[in-house]
Structure 1
């Protein structure tokens, strides 16, 4: 029995030795140590570049979501206030007409009777406004002649450089009903501002005829008019 076991052990050892000699490594090759396959593409190769546009141009990254990549975000890269664009002109400056920007004359007229025509000509470089009516003072009179309300114009009289405006003055009643008549040798014309009876600037002192002009309590003045005929039609 013991001899039989010894023979079996020798036989097993001999089989193991023969197997080791077959693969040359002293261990049995089970195929687990096969080398991995070499990849066809290197892992460090860069990613493929983006495809070129169909029209052959280059692609510029858009800024601020703009398709064309313009800096200011407009489609054609132009600015809204580009040089050379049209600009709305500033409105022209208008001033008040007064003695510093106009020439004033006072001329007696044959018709209507007892009337004086005031003419104001813009001698400045800017358009001016003749507001309300002239405030008259003959010599050193202490009262202000009234204005004829029926002559109130629909719009302020505006004079461009070189243009003239007018006002008519009723000096005395044609039927002699006025009182306190006297002859004046000097006339001062004051201008009103943008509100009634406000100061409109420098006054004017147009020359009167050498003999002076006669006036009485009927003294009345019109509002400034754009046309000469309107100033003398009442």
Structure 2
């Protein structure tokens, strides 16, 4: 009978420990849910990046060949989202923006905090492409969540007095670092 009593006491104690642990986990989960809800609420107040709150620069990439790097640095006081890819027009007479490299879609939208940057890689020319011409400027408009323009176009001067673009030219989606932007 002593063995049975001792077994029941140990079982009761184990059950109480399990119940306490589950209660603790429940309290923690409720706290995390509240934190996640607050984070979601604050994330929804972050606006899309625009040319008005971003410093835009374009440089020639050393590698890979036939690539430019577009850098957008947040000069504002609040973070913003760099949605999709930039809308780029190569040259003053360009009729349509460069296509976006669909294989470069990041896992998440790039959040650009004040002083930080987002990057897009630009493939300018490929032997597989057709035609081509030398462009001296690059028209840049940032895209919103739906893919449309968020503001006015900003014109940048291309390096080396101009760059050759042909029909294979594409631009990557915004990335949080230059190396990932230049993979495409």
RCO comparison, higher one (Cα < 8 Å, 6+): 2
- The residue aligned with 1:147 is 100
* Long gaps (5+) in structure 2: 1-37
- In the TM superposition, residue 135 of structure 1 has moved relative to its aligned partner by 0.8
* Long gaps (5+) in structure 1: 1-87
1:3-152 correspondence runs (5 A): 91=42, 93-139=45-91, 140-152=93-105
- In the TM superposition, residue 202 of structure 1 has moved relative to its aligned partner by 2.9
Q: Which has the higher helix share?
A: 2
- The residue aligned with 2:124 is 171
- In the TM superposition, residue 203 of structure 1 has moved relative to its aligned partner by 2.7
- Correspondence 1:201 to 2:151: yes
After superposition, what is the alpha-carbon deviation per residue over 1:183-207, rounded to whole angstroms, capped at 9, x for unaligned?
A: 00111111111212x2212332222
- The answer as to whether partners of 1:145 and 1:219 remain within 8 angstroms in 2 is yes
Mapped to 1, the partners of 2:75 and 2:59 lie a distance apart of 19
Mapped to 2, the partners of 1:161 and 1:97 lie a distance apart of 11
Higher-Rg structure is: 1
Distance 1:101 1:178, change over 3 A: same
Q: Secondary structure at the match of 1:205?
A: strand
- In the TM superposition, residue 144 of structure 1 has moved relative to its aligned partner by 2.5
Q: Which has the higher strand share?
A: 2
Please identify runs of 4+ aligned residues in structure 1 that moved more than 6 A.
none
Give the TM-score taking structure 2 as reference length: 0.73
- The answer as to whether partners of 2:53 and 2:75 remain within 8 angstroms in 1 is yes
- The residue aligned with 1:232 is 182
RMSD: 1.9
How many equivalent pairs are there? 144
Give the TM-score taking structure 1 as reference length: 0.58
1:210-221 correspondence runs (5 A): 210-221=160-171
Mapped to 2, the partners of 1:91 and 1:218 lie a distance apart of 40
- The answer as to whether partners of 2:87 and 2:149 remain within 8 angstroms in 1 is no
- The answer as to whether partners of 1:133 and 1:191 remain within 8 angstroms in 2 is yes
